[in-house]
Structure 1
Amino acid sequence: MTGQMKRQLRFPIRKRVDAVVLGASAGGIDALCVLLEDLPAVWRLPMAVVLHLPEEHESRLAEIFAQRLPIPVHEANDKMPVSAGSLYFAPPGYHLSIERERTFSLSCEPPVLFSRPSIDLLMGSAADAYGPALAGFLLTGANDDGAQGLHCIHLAGGLTAVQEPGEAQIPTMPQAAIARHIPDYVLPLRELRNLLLQLEAVHEH
């Protein structure tokens, strides 16, 4: 790991974050379970997730995580407002983006990097909507989707975090993001979880 990567969470996070977007592919369900486990019931940050799934299969992600978490969990619908304290999953077969008025938009545009939904599209649109008040987390996965989107968040002044490639079930996705730009944080899942909790604490104040 390069010494430029910020590995410590002991310095205070002064930047207020108003939303979090997350992307993962192969191994992503297990990674999300670790990242989001035992979230406090009082939670204010909206979180939107793209997890690559086969288009032909109905997604049960919202149902699965609603049973595990104390916060509202939804499959995102077109024109649905992005509400504080909720977790949203992109439906399979649709690109998910966030409009500037902070509502979700679904589209059937062609796949990006063989993926629909595309992590890049969610992150890029969210960077336009939230600017520096956005955090992006990229986890395990087997392709380059998310590297460009995370870079868009960086260019907008937002916070970027990547799962430690050596810990990831499939390291390709975090490695591609690190090659594109040096994220603010490259951390194991447990420490990414601590970072997420810190972002919520800063948001609360």
Structure 2
Amino acid sequence: MESTSPAPDGFEVVAVASSAGGINGLGTLLSALDADLPVPVLVVQHLDPRHRTVIAEVLARRTPLQVKLAGDHERTCPGTVYIAPPDRHLLVRPGGLLTLTDSELVHFVRPSADLLFESVAGAYGPKAIACVLTGTGRDGAMGVDAVKSRGGTVIVQDPATAEFRGMPDAAVGTGSVDFVLPLEEIAAVIRGLVETKRQ
């Protein structure tokens, strides 16, 4: 699909949402991004809150990027992946200030991709990239609309290549998507977008 043109001063954040099948999907995406990525990556992956999570350690072994669970009131840094902790919504404010909240579930989930994407749209406008990977349900679709309405860029894993196609199908169904790509091609597009205006 055709892209909209990048933000005048380049992109400043990538937000990624995934659910069922997402550990593999995130591993594939993050492994193809370079350590000198000039933007932070914010991730909502639906996790079972009843168990201690090792997602940061698992993904850190597959990518040169630094990977960590997001902290409340933490400020983002380029080349770092911030993952929403289990049972906490992850939001970002202007200037890259992260906020964690245990406010009510959204579409039966916490963390919610919709809330992350909506906060990214508000904080970064046209300088935001939102990406939806494999997962069940519809989480992320409302947020994709928010990102697109503020001039951001939306990338969705091709539902035909997703382990679970519910979230990608719902995102594509909004009509607010710039790229629909096989999982293996998403990282190259993200790299191209965030590096285009930094030459």
TM-score, normalised by the number of residues in structure 1: 0.91
Residues 93 and 116, structure 1, Cα contact 8 Å, conserved in 2? yes
Once residues 114 and 196 of structure 1 are traced to their aligned partners in structure 2, the CA distance between those partners, rounded to angstroms, is 29
Deviation at 1:13, TM superposition (A): 5.6
One-letter code aligned to 1:104: L
Secondary structure at the residue paired with 1:196? helix
Match of 2:84 in 1: 90
Secondary structure at the residue paired with 2:160? coil
* 2:50 alignment partner, one of 32, 37, 56: 56
Residues 126/182 of structure 1: CA separation in 2 closer, same or farther (3 Å cut): closer
* 2:21 alignment partner, one of 20, 23, 27: 27
Match of 1:69 in 2: 63
Residues 99/182 of structure 1: CA separation in 2 closer, same or farther (3 Å cut): closer
Once residues 85 and 50 of structure 1 are traced to their aligned partners in structure 2, the CA distance between those partners, rounded to angstroms, is 17
Residues 117 and 147, structure 2, Cα contact 8 Å, conserved in 1? yes
* 1:132 alignment partner, one of 111, 126, 130: 126
Structure 2, unaligned runs of 5 or more? none
Match of 2:145 in 1: 151
One-letter code aligned to 2:81: L
Secondary structure at the residue paired with 1:68? coil
One-letter code aligned to 1:20: V
TM-score, normalised by the number of residues in structure 2: 0.93
Once residues 35 and 94 of structure 2 are traced to their aligned partners in structure 1, the CA distance between those partners, rounded to angstroms, is 28
* 1:107 alignment partner, one of 94, 97, 101: 101
Residues 117 and 130, structure 2, Cα contact 8 Å, conserved in 1? yes
Deviation at 1:67, TM superposition (A): 2.1
| Count of residues in Structure 1 that have an aligned counterpart in Structure 2 | 197
Deviation at 1:41, TM superposition (A): 2.6
Once residues 149 and 163 of structure 2 are traced to their aligned partners in structure 1, the CA distance between those partners, rounded to angstroms, is 28
CA RMSD of aligned residues (A): 1.6
Task: Give the fraction of aligned pairs with identical amino acids, expressed as a percent.
Answer: 37
Q: Does 1:40 align with 2:40?
A: no
Residues 32 and 187, structure 2, Cα contact 8 Å, conserved in 1? no
Once residues 26 and 169 of structure 1 are traced to their aligned partners in structure 2, the CA distance between those partners, rounded to angstroms, is 8
One-letter code aligned to 1:144: R
Q: Does 1:167 align with 2:161?
A: yes
Deviation at 1:88, TM superposition (A): 0.7
One-letter code aligned to 1:86: T
One-letter code aligned to 2:57: E
Once residues 162 and 109 of structure 1 are traced to their aligned partners in structure 2, the CA distance between those partners, rounded to angstroms, is 27
Q: How does 1:179-198 map to 2 (within 5 A)?
A: 179-198=173-192
Deviation at 1:72, TM superposition (A): 1.5
Residues 25 and 141, structure 1, Cα contact 8 Å, conserved in 2? yes
Q: Does 1:117 align with 2:111?
A: yes
Residues 60 and 66, structure 2, Cα contact 8 Å, conserved in 1? yes
* 1:200 alignment partner, one of 176, 185, 194: 194
